[in-house]
Amino acid sequence: MNFDGGRDFAQAQDAADPLASFRDRFVIPQRPDGGEVIYFCGNSLGLQPKSAVTMVGEELAVWGALAVGAHFAAERAWVSYQERLAPATAALVGAEPSEVVTMNTLTVNLHLMMVSFYRPTPARHKVVIERPAFPSDRYAVESQIRFHGFEPATSLVEVGPREGESTIRMEDLAARIEAEGPTVALLMLPGVNYYSGQVFDMAALTRLGHSQGCQVGFDLAHAVGNIPLRLHDWGADFAVWCTYKYLNGGPGSIAGCFVHDRHRDWANQPRLAGWWGHDKASRFKMGPDFQPIPGAEGWQMSNAPILSTAPVLASLGIFEEAGMPALRAKSERLTSYLAYLVGERLGDHVEILTPAESTERGCQLSLRVKGARGDQRRVFEVLGANGVVCDWREPDVIRVAPVPLYNRFEEVFEFVGILQGALARPV
C-alpha cells in the first residue's frame, strides 16, 4: 500500500471511499465545543446506529399496544425474535444459520459452552489459553477447572510472547500444544487478542487441537465484525462473542454463540438446559422432559431480551448492506495508513505492538510510548482532552481502533497530529 503524509492524501482517500456514507448511519459523540470527537474506541464500545433508536422505539410501541400479545401478534414476533438475527450473524462468522444463536452475554456463553465441551478426566484435564488473556476469560476458565476438582496451577496452560516480544508466535503455540497434547481437554483462545490486537490463525489452531484429541473453542469478542471468519469450514467446536464492540449492539447487549453442526444432535450431551432451548414444536406443551432443538439453539436457556436485541438487529442490517469484504478492504487500508503515519512521524517515540502484516491484525493498533517520554498515561489523557476517544489498557498500552463503518482517513491524520503534540509536551 502506497501512502502520503499530507492531509490532501487523507481527504482524497475519504472522497474515493465507497463506504463513506455509512458514517452518517451512526451518532458521533460531540466535543464540548460542538465538534465531533475522533472516536477510535469501537474495539471497546461501538457507536450507536441511528436505526437502533427507531427499532427500539418500535418495540416499545408494540409493547404498549399489544403487551403479552406481541410475542405472537407483532410484526417481529417476540417468540422468534432471535431467529431473525441468525442469517446475518451466520454470514459474519462463516457459519450455517443452525450453528449460531444470539443469547445471554459473552462470559455466560463461555461458561455454558465449557459445561458441554470441557469434560476433564484425571488424564486429560488441561486448558490452553493465551497470555495475556482477557481477565474474564481467565476467570471463567479457572473457575471451571476448580469446579471440576482440579487446580489452575496444574491444569491451566498459558502461552505468551517471548521475552522482548509483544505477540505470540504460532510455532510456540504449536510446540506447547503438541507437548501437552495428551493432557489437554480444551484449547480456548481468542480470534484477536484484546491487548496486542494480534489475529490468531484459527484454522491452523483448530487442526492442531483436534489432532491432539482436544476440543477447540474461540472467544471472538475482538474478531466478529472486525475480520473475516469461517468457523464452519475451520471446524471449531464452539465460539462465543459479544455484540457491543464492532457489532455496535449497545452497552451490555446480547451476545452470540456458535456450535458446529457436527454437534447438532447431542441430545444427551451434558449441558445446562432451559425452556427456550426445548424443541419449538412441543415447547408450549410444557412437558417435563427436555428435548433440545438441534443445533446451537438447543443451548438457549431463556427468551431473548427484546430491547437489548433490537439494536443488534439494526446493526446487522448495516453490516449486510456494507458487506464484510468491503469493510475488511477499507479496514486494512485505514489501519495500514495509521501505522504508516505513526512510523513516519513518531517512530522514535511510539512503538506499535500489533503485527505489521495487515493479515495478522484487525482494526486495532496497540501503541506504547517509549523511553524518556514514557509517561504513557499522561499522553493518553492529553489525547482525551483534545477530542480523541481511544482506550487505555494496563500496564502501558494505548489502544486505537479506526473502524471502517464510521471512521475516516482524515481522522487518522488528525489523530497522529494530536498524538505528536501530546508527546511534545513536557512531562
Residues designated catalytic: 134, 219, 244-245, 399
Q: 359-368 burial, b if ≥16 CB within 10 A, otherwise e?
A: ebbbbbbbbe
Classify strands 397-400 and 365-369 as parallel, antiparallel or unpaired: antiparallel
Q: How far is CA 112 from the centre of its chain?
A: 18
3-state secondary structure of 317: helix
CB 221 within 8 A of CB 245: yes
CA–CA distances in Å: residue 175 to residues 126, 162, 181, 184, 209: 15, 13, 10, 13, 12
Q: Which of 403, 58, 98, 398 is nearest to 247 (CA)?
A: 403
> Which positions ≥6 away from 165 have C-beta within 8 Å?
none
Cis peptide upstream of residue 161 (ω within 30 degrees of 0)? no
> Which positions ≥6 away from 268 have C-beta within 8 Å?
none
Q: Which contacts (CB < 8 Å, 24+ apart) does range 412-416 have?
A: 412/10, 412/334, 412/337, 412/338, 412/341, 413/7, 413/10, 413/341, 414/38, 415/38, 415/40, 415/338, 415/383, 415/388, 416/338, 416/341, 416/342, 416/345, 416/346
Give the CB-side neighbour count of residue 403, counting CA atoms within 13 A.
Answer: 30
